[in-house]
Amino acid sequence: MAVGDLQAAEDLFPGLSKKTRLLVEEAWAARLAHFPMEIRWVYPQATEPVSLTASKCALDCAHCGGHYLEHMTPLEQALQMANAGQSTTGRIPAAPARSYLISGGCDRQGKVPVLPNIGQVAELSRRGRLNFHVGLVGDEEARVIGRYADSISFDFVGSDETIAEIYGLNRRVEDYVESYQALRRHARVIPHICIGLHGGEIRGEWRALSLLKELGTDGLALSSSPPTPGTRLALAPPPPVEEVAGILARARLDFPEIPISLGCMRPGGRYRSLVDSLAVRCGVNKIVIPARRAVAYAVQQGLTGSREDECCVL
């Protein structure tokens, strides 16, 4: 490894260990070997986030507590606005959504109630493409969802402790593997790994990558868990930047030929600038709402940026 290459990673984050710097540079080399010099910046204004349960969720997860549901559009309202050809999120310029993220709160089994709402979801599918966030499912649910899904975002968790202590579910990693396999039989699925979901600790992220390498995937989205005000983890630290960089780099090396996105859930400020810039060097293909420093760094590295306005998995 050239001294100049190692210095590139050191400049991004002084104090990054030599081991991680080497991993980051290996990831950059893998990216150069398999993809053109392009990167996509995602500003998903044309994708409407829709909740099937309004702001209700039976789990009250430690990292969310229903906070993110409050910023989603209830299904009936989304349908009304779509039928009227209007924007529901105050986009500038205001325009009807071209796609929809179908999500919502979970029941005590970790399921988002898609099937009870499938008639309205089917109607919405005639207005735009659908990306589903569905939680745990069986094969029949996966088959029905697959009729309407352009993509499925599936939270892939690699720690039994995280499932129990953060989600509050009496489930295991094997249940997530089974749901993932069921969904893949019927639709295009992009697994999501939230780094530091367990209060900023690294628990099952490496196992999740290892499992996905065995199971196969057409794409991958990673994010960095932000401490969210009003939740039980509001005062928890974000995952260490060093750990995030290592996992991003390992993801690129484990999956050298598939598109990898840095998703929308990330802490802000200087932390975001560091993570986003390192994600560029780790070889991700897309970054949702990138930090300015990362955009400038990508230009310095010779990458040509293009803009997208829908969810990163579509």
pLDDT, tens only, 124-179: 999 999 999 999 999 999 999 999 999 999 999 999 999 999 999 999 999 999 99
Neighbours of 210 (CB within 10 A): 14
Task: Identify residue 133 by its one-letter amino acid code.
Answer: H
Contact present, 295 and 41 (Cβ < 8 Å): yes
Phi, psi of 238, deg, nearest 5: -70, 160
Cβ neighbours of residue 202 closer than 8 Å, sequence gap 6 or more = 195, 196, 239, 240, 243, 247
Cβ neighbours of residue 256 closer than 8 Å, sequence gap 6 or more = 30, 31, 33, 34
The pLDDT assigned to 91 comes to: 47
Helix axis angle, 269-281 to 241-254, nearest 10° = 30
Domains and CATH numbers, the chain: 3-308 (3.20.20.70)
* Pairing mode, strands 260-262 and 286-288: parallel
pTM: 0.93
Contact present, 273 and 244 (Cβ < 8 Å): no
Least confident of 6-10, 69-73, 125-129, 188-192: 6-10
Radius of gyration of the chain (CA): 19
